[in-house]
Structure 1
Amino acid sequence: MMKQGIATITMNPALDLTGQLSSVQLGEVNCIREASLRPAGKGVNVSCVLADMKVPVAATGILGDENAQAFNTLCANRTIQDEFLVAPGSTRINVKISADQVTEFNFPGLEFNQSVISQLESTIERLLPDFSLWVMAGSLPACLPRDYYFKLISHLNAHGKKVLFDSSGVPFAEGIKAKPWLIKPNASELSDWAGLTLESPESQMKVARELIQDGITHVVISNGAQGVLWVTATECWQAQPPKVEVISTVGAGDTLVAGIAYGLMKQETPEQILRRATALSACAVTQVGVGVKDYQQVEQISHLIQIKQHI
């Protein structure tokens, strides 16, 4: 019997070293005020939020055996079904510095061979009967072909699975050719793909509708403080969050994806899904670290979300 849960795939996980300081002085010694080192990667972040919301979730991907323990411990502590594989080496460390804005330094991913890829594909095959909703998120390590997401999405589509896809650059451009069920670019990523500056909701809707005509069912566009746009063939919903104190934007987009996945799993209406997902994302920027720390706060903010339907 199929589980009422969600599976996530993170092809390029990382340990995120995050730090906060008032401002960055280039060429000088900068003293970090607050720091943390935690397992991350877009799919890992999605898994954490879903687990906090009591959703059965399985997480897979490829880790380096030298520092895989941090991810294994995370899965155990968050009650995430740990389906990660290991390869020789270290999972990369990414550095994210929050001052007036978040500056990120993303390092190259783990190198692994075809044998490890085959093991991952066997793991996905084993999980297929148990999960109908799959989240595929993040970048690809350099050792994989740039169209690898196309292969995975096509395989999941062929088995009748619904894929929520969140990537950027060439992996995003190649992956959407497989027509995933839902994609979640931010405004900048969609602009890069389209080769246009897409600042207005109207321009974003136009490009989203073109993607839908090509076979993608849902296009969700995140716009930071300007909210979220959700476009289908027949509807377009816009969610505007209230102003909140921003501490860190790290993981906010992944939290939005988790909220959308949760609502879709529960078969809620677009308005219900957008309201909760946008509130979750708004709460995410008020904290350091990824996860639902105060669901009462999420509920409070959800009532302040402004929802608008475009004709």
Structure 2
Amino acid sequence: MSAVQRIASLTLNPAIDQTVVAPGFSLDSVNRATSTQSDAGGKGINVASFLARFGHPVVGLGLLGEDNEAMFTQHFQRVGIEDAFTRIKGATRTNIKIIDPPTNRITDLNFPGAQTSAHDLEAVERALMMAAIDGLDWLILSGSLPLGLSDDSYLRFIKWARMTGCKTVVDTSGGPLKEAIAAKPDVIKPNVQELREYLLAPLASPEDVADAARTLVEDGISMVVVSMGHQGAVFCTKEGAYHALAEAPKIVTTVGAGDAMVAGVVHGHVEGKSLEEMSRTAIAFSIGALGEIGPRIPEPAQIAELETLVRLSPI
């Protein structure tokens, strides 16, 4: 392993992820749940949890509602995330995931989140400055923005990171993705639909996605990773591009799979892996998360086994 690198993961719109297992779930009918599970979630918190599981020092930043913070603080203590979240009035939202095991269909009901303001964003920025006193190598910006924050809210963090030499990873969508790409973070991880919406292009094949990713790399982004669901993912840098694909041994839920891919990419960078090795690791993280209920990932030994399932094709 290379020298220890410190990572910060920012989540401005976290959520309690309530996963409900309801066999035969259908709309406009009475459905019966066989189990339910609630987890502290939000894209950046998931990423931080996966990285902490692999032994990386991670600080969590963002906004948490005071009314139901206990689940989050307990989770941070349990998995080893340094808690630098800013507390705000109200409650953190709950997102509901309904799983139908016979069909593997998943229905998401995502809520908008608490009302926030520019003042709250400034408080998060101050928390980042404090966290960076001990040194910071990576800043991960993940997820949607809560009510009250503008699409360019990630820009101040990307600009700060560039000035301090901290590498940035962005995983968001829509207007925030467009604004972030303009600021040229080091790594972006859209899914294929998010990239289609940004480019206004169909991107029908992995080859199309690779061509689009190369354009973004040539424009100043060091690495572009595009997740494509059952079609795997495309990983692109100046050194080349790979289409990575693997069949998940078990699919329980898709919750956290994209976040696990982000964690795998950062883990690969910290470990000094090549693009080929990093692609295998990121896919293994992702398919490992598919087999777990809630934002969880298998043990490192199991991830190593999953890496052997990944098929890579230069593209």
Residues 209-224 of structure 1: pairs in structure 2 closer than 5 A: 209-224=214-229
1:247 aligns to what SS in structure 2? coil
Question: Displacement, 1:144?
Answer: 0.6
Question: Displacement, 1:166?
Answer: 0.2
1:66 aligns to what SS in structure 2? helix
In structure 1, the gaps of 5 or more residues are: none
Name the counterpart of 1:194: 199
Q: Detail structure 1 runs of 4+ shifted over 6 Å in the superposition.
A: none
| Maintained 8 Å contact 1:147/1:174 | yes
1:24 aligns to what SS in structure 2? coil
Name the counterpart of 1:74: 75
Question: Displacement, 1:44?
Answer: 0.2
The yes-or-no answer on 1:23 pairing with 2:24 is: yes
Name the counterpart of 1:303: 308
CA distance in 2: counterparts of 1:172 and 1:135, whole angstroms: 13
1:188 aligns to what SS in structure 2? helix
The yes-or-no answer on 1:228 pairing with 2:229 is: no
After alignment, is 123-132 or 135-144 more displaced? 123-132
Q: How many residues align?
A: 309
Residues 83-98 of structure 1: pairs in structure 2 closer than 5 A: 83-98=84-99
1:35 aligns to what SS in structure 2? strand
Name the counterpart of 2:179: 174
Question: RMSD between aligned alpha carbons?
Answer: 1.5
The yes-or-no answer on 1:259 pairing with 2:259 is: no
Question: Displacement, 1:157?
Answer: 1.6
CA distance in 1: counterparts of 2:71 and 2:39, whole angstroms: 8
TM superposition score normalised by structure 1 = 0.95
In structure 2, the gaps of 5 or more residues are: none
Name the counterpart of 2:142: 137
1:72 aligns to what SS in structure 2? helix
1:141 aligns to what SS in structure 2? coil
Question: Displacement, 1:128?
Answer: 2.6
CA distance in 1: counterparts of 2:47 and 2:141, whole angstroms: 10
CA distance in 1: counterparts of 2:305 and 2:271, whole angstroms: 21
CA distance in 2: counterparts of 1:277 and 1:13, whole angstroms: 23
| Maintained 8 Å contact 1:102/1:248 | yes
Name the counterpart of 2:250: 245
TM superposition score normalised by structure 2 = 0.94
| Maintained 8 Å contact 1:3/1:131 | no
Q: What CA deviation, in whole Å up to 9, does each residue of 1:98-123 have, x standing for no partner?
A: 22322211111112334332221111
Specify the code of the residue in structure 2 equivalent to 1:43. Answer: G
Tell me the percent identity.
33
| Maintained 8 Å contact 2:20/2:99 | yes
CA distance in 2: counterparts of 1:98 and 1:291, whole angstroms: 16
CA distance in 2: counterparts of 1:109 and 1:157, whole angstroms: 29
The yes-or-no answer on 1:126 pairing with 2:127 is: no
1:19 aligns to what SS in structure 2? strand
| Maintained 8 Å contact 2:17/2:294 | no
